Structure 1
Amino acid sequence: MAKRRHFGRVRKLPSGRYQVRYPGPDGVLRPADTTFDRKRDAELWLSAKEAEIARGEWLDPEGGKVTLREYGEAWIKERPKLRPKTVVLYEGLFRLHIAPALGKMRLAEITTPRLRKWRRDLLDGGVGPVTVAKAYRLLRSMLNTAVSDRYLTKNPCQIPGAGLEKSPERPTATIEEVFTIADSVPERYRLLVLLACFNSLRWGELAALARKHVDPVAGTVLVERSVVELPTAELVFGPPKSDASVRVVTVPAILLPDVVRHLDEFTGKGAEALLFLGPKGGPLRRSNFQDHWRKAVAEISQPGLHFHDLRHTGNTWAAETGATLRDLMDRMGHSTTRAALIYLHKTAGRDRKIADALSQLVEDSRGGTGRSDGGDQGDADPGQDGGTEGHGEPKGHAGGTRHDQ
């Protein structure tokens, strides 16, 4: 009686050739892609396939037939927890910047040299570095999944630094410039401008605010949803950018009269009435506000200022008031410290004020001796005055200049 193989099966076909079937790591029984003249050759092939699986080098043979376009489109659809805005971003990046050059290629054909050329062609073609970095990161994530699916043995996205964003520093406005803009837009949008800046709110968060989210007595605004405009022009209301973006922000007292006036004059009486409306009474869209913004910005000395720069401006001001890292994260609606650290870095000079204030506390406590040890100042080295002059500012966070999104 022939000994049964512990891995795979070999059988003789009516033609006299031998066919092999083997179990992949997923348990699915698959045939070899060829047949063999001799049984011995078939058994050697099975032994080699078993060793390949043991080394973790096995690839699903069906994966070699899948194109990047097929895989990428399915990859986006198979992520049900993506927020609508993220879906729009991914679909746009894939459709415009990945699929045209790489979509027809089978996954196994995508190599690191080919990706270097793809990235270089995008940059040379005028696509912005930030967009190229986002497209590269999306592709890298897709191909990481392809490795997990055993369609690839290794992710070919191996270009150092290709996924890093190095955005140019965005401008900030002065207080007078912000109020000039607020005074220049139609009255119904004055509060929109002020909350974007002084309460660090994103466009989508502002457009989704309803009367129920605003408490003029407590002076707070609840951010619990955001609105995204899809390429189809459909507006989708949903949760904000992240869990940390669900927050309550306090309105500066000086703006509360604007809040009350806006609620009285421009907001419906129902709790669900939207705070800001378009010119025809529908939900606010960027397209029906953009002309007002351009005209208002033309009144100041920064014609290139974007609406999102109001949030950037407000975050910078908050850091200058002495807000802590946790304060900034809560205000901005961020779960990580990266963006908040950028604003703290911008105001690192405050550390000198803190050090000076601590020195003053010591002087006041020690009777004006100017020495922290209370000793006789007459024996001090003339070159060491015990104060804070001469000490450089501490090095700030080494993050880039990209402002918060």
Structure 2
Amino acid sequence: MARPRTPIGTYGTISHRRLGAKRCEARTRYRDWDGRLRLVQSTGPTKTAAELALKRKLAERSLFQPAFGGLSADSKFSALVDYWLEDLDLEDRLSLTTRQLYERNIRTLVAPAFEELTLREIGVARCDYFLKQLAKQSYNRARQARVVLRLALGLAVRHEVIPRNPIDHVSRLRRPARTPDAFHDSEVELIRDAIYLWEQREIVAGPKPDGQLGQVLEVLLGTSVRIGEVLAIRIGDLSLRGDNPTVHISGTIVSQKGVPTHRQDHPKTSRSVRTITLPPFAVRAIRERLKKRLSIDPNALLFCNRKGGPLTTNNFRRRLRDVTDKAGLKGVTPHKFRRTGATAINEDGGIDLAAELLGHTDPRITAQHYIVRDHRVNPMTATMLVSRFGGTG
């Protein structure tokens, strides 16, 4: 019967030998990470001191074994960053946009504070302090930093470089209170007027108008979709005949580092794939655009540049801001039209219908981030109190 092998991380009998009048050596065989037995030794002025030094070395070696990729607990954080990014590429499960976002966040938000530290030195207290200080500047930056820190250190835990992930024990980040904002009906009309004046060249801002700015805004207002989803609408996504004209939302425009702006064949989430009935004002804007588009290719983009390629979301935001700023209207963004539509639908149809229109899986997200709260209490409360407590004054 074969003898059971010594478990990894254990050592045999410690032996000693005298190296001179004032030096002693303690040595033993240690079963290492790869299963091989290796000789480990330490010295000291006495037999006892040498043995204590050896045991400290063995304890440290047992806790922090060498890991894959040459990483150890004494590796710098910058080495883990490179190793983690390489691991993301090997997994190949992230979109290019998310992969670039993760790299940007860990190199710009996290690395300046951690790159010279060893992994052994990155504990709960240090991470907790870092995230709290960053949250004072920006909650979103702290949240994004925490995500990439957790993922990178989590890889180090899985590969047994460190024993635990310190991010699992840091304090919870507190999201600052934020009230969603939306356009009032009068503001919508002022924005429409500003774009009309710009198209008539009574407001001068940027290149010559081609009609698309106002048309895109009408579709935004009529669908409450994201700006990237509007710019990704293809001619084949439209069904304008009949009593219920619709648009099918099935993609978005993305601009990634090192890659030309292009149409991605899926929107932000699977729930975001949806078919929306268009109101008449959005249909009119689309028909006006189709007259100039002069294409019957179902894969051709409805809104495009002069060469038929996609418009970038950043350029659209910039153009909208330039025009509305010149008209004295501040804070006009495409996303605010999304909140405007959601608020209107919530008031007339309820939160579930608003979430369905926005493509949200959870109505709580819609309520928290997109619905402007009505602070007015139903006046029926006054009538009820009168009936209960009376009074003729």
After TM superposition, the score normalised by the length of structure 1 is: 0.70
Structure 1 unaligned spans of 5+? 360-369, 371-380, 386-405
Question: For residue 148 of structure 1, what is the amino acid of its counterpart?
Answer: R
8 Å CA contact 1:181–1:193 kept in 2: the answer is no
Residue in 1 aligned with 2:218? Answer: 194
Distance change in 2, residues 1:226/1:276 (3 Å): same
8 Å CA contact 2:271–2:360 kept in 1: the answer is yes
Q: CA deviation at 1:194?
A: 1.9
Structure 1 CA distance for aligned equivalents of residues 39 and 342 of structure 2: 61
Q: CA deviation at 1:291?
A: 4.1
8 Å CA contact 1:188–1:266 kept in 2: the answer is no
1:129 is the counterpart of 2:135: no
Deviation per CA, 1:153-177, whole angstroms, max 9, x where unpaired? 2222233233x44374353212343
Q: CA deviation at 1:383?
A: 2.1
Residue in 2 aligned with 1:86? Answer: 98
Deviation per CA, 1:144-195, whole angstroms, max 9, x where unpaired? 3433332222222233233x44374353212343344345164122221122
Residue in 1 aligned with 2:29? Answer: 19
Q: CA deviation at 1:317?
A: 1.6
Residue in 1 aligned with 2:77? Answer: 68
Question: For residue 73 of structure 2, what is the amino acid of its counterpart?
Answer: G
Q: What SS does structure 1 have at the residue aligned with 2:267?
A: coil
Q: CA deviation at 1:284?
A: 0.1
8 Å CA contact 1:244–1:334 kept in 2: the answer is yes
Q: CA deviation at 1:312?
A: 1.8
Structure 2 unaligned spans of 5+? 18-26, 199-208
Alignment of 1:173-322 (within 5 A): 173-183=183-193, 184=195, 186=209, 187-217=211-241, 218-232=244-258, 234-238=260-264, 239-266=266-293, 268-278=295-305, 281-298=308-325, 302-322=329-349
8 Å CA contact 2:355–2:366 kept in 1: the answer is yes
Question: For residue 97 of structure 2, what is the amino acid of its counterpart?
Answer: K
Structure 2 CA distance for aligned equivalents of residues 264 and 220 of structure 1: 18
Q: CA deviation at 1:10?
A: 6.1
Q: CA deviation at 1:274?
A: 0.8
Question: For residue 119 of structure 2, what is the amino acid of its counterpart?
Answer: L
Residue in 1 aligned with 2:204? Answer: none
Name the one with the larger helix percent.
Answer: 2
Residue in 2 aligned with 1:29? Answer: 35
Q: CA deviation at 1:225?
A: 1.4
CA RMSD of aligned residues (A): 4.0
Residues paired across the two proteins, number: 342
Q: CA deviation at 1:234?
A: 2.4
8 Å CA contact 1:267–1:273 kept in 2: the answer is no
Q: What SS does structure 1 have at the residue aligned with 2:305?
A: coil
Question: For residue 166 of structure 2, what is the amino acid of its counterpart?
Answer: P
8 Å CA contact 1:319–1:344 kept in 2: the answer is no
Q: CA deviation at 1:60?
A: 3.7
Deviation per CA, 1:288-333, whole angstroms, max 9, x where unpaired? 33442123322666412322222122212221122342x2222112
Residue in 2 aligned with 1:383? Answer: 388
Distance change in 2, residues 1:110/1:331 (3 Å): same
Residue in 2 aligned with 1:107? Answer: 119
Q: CA deviation at 1:74?
A: 3.9
Aligned mate of 2:170, from 159, 162, 173: 159
Structure 2 CA distance for aligned equivalents of residues 6 and 256 of structure 1: 76
Q: CA deviation at 1:222?
A: 1.1
Question: For residue 337 of structure 1, what is the amino acid of its counterpart?
Answer: P
8 Å CA contact 1:182–1:191 kept in 2: the answer is no
Return 87-96 or 167-176, whichever deviates more. 167-176
Structure 1 CA distance for aligned equivalents of residues 343 and 387 of structure 2: 40
Structure 1 CA distance for aligned equivalents of residues 327 and 180 of structure 2: 16
Distance change in 2, residues 1:113/1:33 (3 Å): farther
1:7 is the counterpart of 2:7: yes
After TM superposition, the score normalised by the length of structure 2 is: 0.72
Question: For residue 80 of structure 1, what is the amino acid of its counterpart?
Answer: D
Structure 1 CA distance for aligned equivalents of residues 369 and 125 of structure 2: 38
Distance change in 2, residues 1:3/1:159 (3 Å): closer
Structure 2 CA distance for aligned equivalents of residues 330 and 33 of structure 1: 67
Residue in 1 aligned with 2:156? Answer: 146
Q: What SS does structure 1 have at the residue aligned with 2:30?
A: strand
